Amino acid sequence: MSLIGSEATFIAVLAPFAAAIVAPTLTRLLAHNAAWPLALVPAAIFLFFAGLVPEVAGGVSFTPMVDWAPSYGVTFSFFVDGLSTLFALLISGIGTFIILYSGGYLKGHPQQGRFFSFMFLFMGAMLGLVLGNDLITLFIFWELTSITSFLLIGFDHLRAASRRAAIQALVVTGGGGLSLLAGFLVIMAVTGEANMSAVLASGDTLRDSGLYALILVLVLGGAFTKSAQFPFHFWLPNAMEAPTPVSAFLHSATMVKAGVYLLMRMHPVLGDTALWTTILPVFGGATLLVGTILAVRQTDLKLMLAYTTVASLGLLVMLTGTSWEKAIEGAALYLLAHSLFKGALFMVAGTIDHEAGTRDITRLGGLRKAMPITFAAACLAALSMSGLPPFVGFIAKEYLYTGIWGGAGANYALTATAVLGNALMLVIAAAVALKPFLGPKVETPKHAHEGPVLLYAGPVVLSLVGLASALLAHDTGVLVIGPVVSSILGVPSTVDVHLVPTHIGAALYLSLGTIALGVVLFLRLDALRAGTAGLLTAIGWGPDKGFDQVIAGIVSFSAWVTRTVQGGRMEVYMTMTFLITAAALLVPMTVAGTWPTSFAMPGFRFYEWGVLAIAAAGLVAVLIARTRLTAIVSLGIQGFAVALIFMLFGAPDLSFTQFMVETLSVVILALVMTRLNLQPRDHRPMMARLCHSAIALAIGVGFAGLLIQITSAPFDRRLSDFFEAYSRTIAHGRNIVNVILVDFRGFDTLGEISVVMITGLCVLALIRVRPKRSAEEALDLAAGDEAVRKREEARV
């Protein structure tokens, strides 16, 4: 049955991209019902990866591969093991219900097809990210998720808040992506491997490398921004501007987990060092606390969930950062649990918003009768989030407490952080699941009733899976969690998962303590909210505001640079250009001390001196000409002198051409200049004249010196010899110059005659195109037709 090593994996990753192409057309045909056929795509992908589970659980990893850019050693290859399979299952499984949910949520939206398209693009990018084996492939999919999430967050692009959130997410995660790329490049340089599977097999190479700290910081720069770790957490809540299906998909199970995925993936080679076990728990723990505290303050359902997502990501990073086996087991379980309950709760929040018209928790209540199915799903998911039995969230908490408590070192601080964080998460879970549904009926903007099946299918199924995976704890452990833990630790390991704790220990007491603390806090939620709100107002400034200031600063700075560098004055541009040219000519020669020292007086014949003198005289005459005729004639003189120089030094072709060109130049100059005034005097002020003369002289001296230097060096005749030897023998022509033009370098000439023709066309266009009004009148027109009419009258 082994499809696994074949191209099937490629098809699985590329299928969402294909779906993205057909989605708009399908939506045009079927309207929102297009969700049903479209959902078959992720469902099929889910079934495919589900079929791989037994083999992967048997400890087999696969790396199918095709060449992508062979000259750079980049392959398009995928790595299927426990960790990537779990992620692929979550992406495609939750994705199936998200697609269905989008069908209901955006029913009748004019851009629903585009929305499906973006969703599938994102899904494909995400699958590519978690399955990517080649580091460059992985990076490209990583950035693709940033770009597609930009499109999704900014989907409602007519609102400024959406645009801001989209740009913020792109800047933060895209910037982190660059850091990640740098990290990957260093990893490739250190290990000499381009594939993740090979890097993972490199053992302690990275840890023992002198560049370990650099690699770790760069990789963490990517992972922390993507997974919204403090202080980069601010983009995630802002991204709630997106339609709810986007939040449910990106910010629960997929996009933001990419950073966690990367940390888990690299753990075997980067983890378990002093640096790792310091940085990750500190940042993760801080994120957990900041996330939960900020969540308590909110009254918007989606924002509450968003901040608990930040907190959960912090918890995952903290657990991964301990590198303790039991904590890793807890992280793997929590990863599964969080994806299921958070996806479900986001969809519940969206359904409430969709049906009741608001998601402000203070304006909701008593919906249990109107929306019984949604209420049931919300309760199931919230129980899992609270960590109560018999849900997978409970098991996860048992394991992570066991892991932290059982470890060594700073476990008291970690335990306290985890208990407080989990208790606050229980508060939020209870608030989200209970407040809108219980209590007296509150009047909502829309008359609330149960949504269509498209809307409740997702929450119900996901929360039931959360229940089922706990009830079938043993199978979950063998098939899913064990392979994941093996991947994270880098050694084959089996995890025995039990729903019922095997012994009464610290973990159970901690769990009970968490629940008790949570319930107490929940009962005082309003006071808690007021307290945190007061605290945050007192601080007043956060990274979110800082982002705005940074962006405004960049805009102002670039505007300043543009104004300074491009003042819009031709004279200044010219002067700057030539000043730099002069420096480029003179400075290297001065620094390297290669100024020509000797000047050999040549044995010129008298007529040769004459030609040179005519050229010089022509130039000076152009410079001092006071009438246009003098200027044109002088220009002609220097041109004909150049033609004579060509003639004297064995270039008859050039000489003829130059003669013809100078004749034509004089003709057309005479034709045009009869219309243009040549000011009798150069009306530059004396200072400018002196300055410009100095620059011009410097460049003149520079070129003369350069040329003397070049010509006093021995001449490399190889190219000329080639043309001389083969002009007649191969190309059958005796005029070597012409043979070079039309035969040896014919392709160049083809380009050059194209340029000649294009200038001809441009000249014609310039002469033909005549605006109907003069510029002055056009300005008047802009000021108002009235002015023009007055002018017309005045003329009459």
Interaction residues for another protein, span 680-709 (CB under 8 A): 682-684, 692-693, 695-697, 699-705, 707-708
Q: Which stretch binds another protein (CB under 8 A): 47-55, 287-295, 380-388, 612-620?
A: 612-620
Q: Which stretch binds another protein (CB under 8 A): 52-60, 240-248, 346-354, 656-664?
A: 656-664
**If you search the block for the tokens 């895209």, which residue do you land on?**
174
Minimum CB separation of residue 651 from another protein in Å reads: 5
Among 214, 628, 630, 633, binds another protein (CB under 8 A): 628
Among 413, 506, 527, 552, binds another protein (CB under 8 A): 552
Among 732, 772, 793, 796, binds another protein (CB under 8 A): 732
> Judged by CB, which is closer to another protein: 2, or 735?
735
Q: Which stretch binds another protein (CB under 8 A): 199-207, 245-253, 270-278, 602-610?
A: 602-610
Among 278, 556, 590, 627, binds another protein (CB under 8 A): 556
> Judged by CB, which is closer to another protein: 463, or 638?
638
Q: Judging by DSSP bridges, how do beta strands 65-69 and 74-77 pair with one another?
A: antiparallel
> Judged by CB, which is closer to another protein: 552, or 781?
552
* Residues 243/105, Cβ–Cβ less than 8 Å: yes
CA distance 211 to 208: 8
> Judged by CB, which is closer to another protein: 7, or 752?
752
Structure tokens at 299: 């009254």
Does 507 interact with another protein (rule: CB under 8 A)? no
> Judged by CB, which is closer to another protein: 504, or 767?
767
Among 1, 539, 600, 687, binds another protein (CB under 8 A): 600
* Residues 80/4, Cβ–Cβ less than 8 Å: yes
* Residues 618/638, Cβ–Cβ less than 8 Å: yes
Does 111 interact with another protein (rule: CB under 8 A)? no
CA distance 620 to 631: 10
Does 645 interact with another protein (rule: CB under 8 A)? yes
Using CB under 8 A as the binding rule, the residues of this chain from 710 to 729 that contact another protein are 710-712, 715, 717, 719-720, 723-725, 727-729
CA distance 319 to 366: 38
- 132: three-class secondary structure by DSSP: strand
Using CB under 8 A as the binding rule, the residues of this chain from 559 to 578 that contact another protein are 559, 563, 568-571, 574-575, 578
> What is the dihedral sign for C-alpha 356, 358, 361, 362?
negative
Minimum CB separation of residue 571 from another protein in Å reads: 5
Minimum CB separation of residue 583 from another protein in Å reads: 14
Structure tokens at 285: 């723990």
Among 654, 777, 787, 788, binds another protein (CB under 8 A): 654
CA distance 12 to 10: 5
- 360: three-class secondary structure by DSSP: strand
Among 676, 686, 687, 796, binds another protein (CB under 8 A): 676
Q: Which stretch binds another protein (CB under 8 A): 124-132, 178-186, 489-497, 734-742?
A: 734-742
Among 612, 633, 787, 788, binds another protein (CB under 8 A): 612
Task: Report in angstroms the alpha-carbon separations of 234 from 196, 309, 352, 460.
Answer: 30, 12, 25, 30
* Residues 245/253, Cβ–Cβ less than 8 Å: no
Torsion of CA 505, 506, 512, 516, to 10 degrees: 150
Does 333 interact with another protein (rule: CB under 8 A)? no
Minimum CB separation of residue 533 from another protein in Å reads: 26
**If you search the block for the tokens 């030609």, which residue do you land on?**
611
Using CB under 8 A as the binding rule, the residues of this chain from 6 to 25 that contact another protein are none
Among 441, 652, 784, 791, binds another protein (CB under 8 A): 652
CA distance 32 to 26: 9
Size of the site for another protein (CB under 8 A): 131
| DSSP line for 62-112 | B--EEEEEGGGTEEEEB-BSHHHHHHHHHHHHHHHHHHHHHHHHTTT-TTH
Q: Which of 486, 510, 242, 504 is closest to 350 using CA atoms?
A: 242
Task: Report in angstroms the alpha-carbon separations of 130 from 79, 140, 393.
Answer: 8, 12, 23
Does 671 interact with another protein (rule: CB under 8 A)? yes
Using CB under 8 A as the binding rule, the residues of this chain from 738 to 777 that contact another protein are 738-743, 745-750, 752-757, 759-764, 766-767, 771, 774-775
Among 21, 527, 587, 623, binds another protein (CB under 8 A): 623
> Judged by CB, which is closer to another protein: 250, or 625?
625
* Residues 128/42, Cβ–Cβ less than 8 Å: no
In sequence order, which residues have a C-beta less than 8 Å from that of residue 155 and are 6 or more positions away? 111, 114, 115, 118, 162, 242, 243, 246
411-434 helix and 372-386 helix, angle to the nearest 10 degrees: 170
Minimum CB separation of residue 626 from another protein in Å reads: 12
- 444: three-class secondary structure by DSSP: coil
Does 175 interact with another protein (rule: CB under 8 A)? no
Binding mask 130-169 for another protein (x = CB under 8 A): ------------------------------x--xx--x--
Q: Which stretch binds another protein (CB under 8 A): 112-120, 424-432, 448-456, 638-646?
A: 638-646
Does 649 interact with another protein (rule: CB under 8 A)? yes
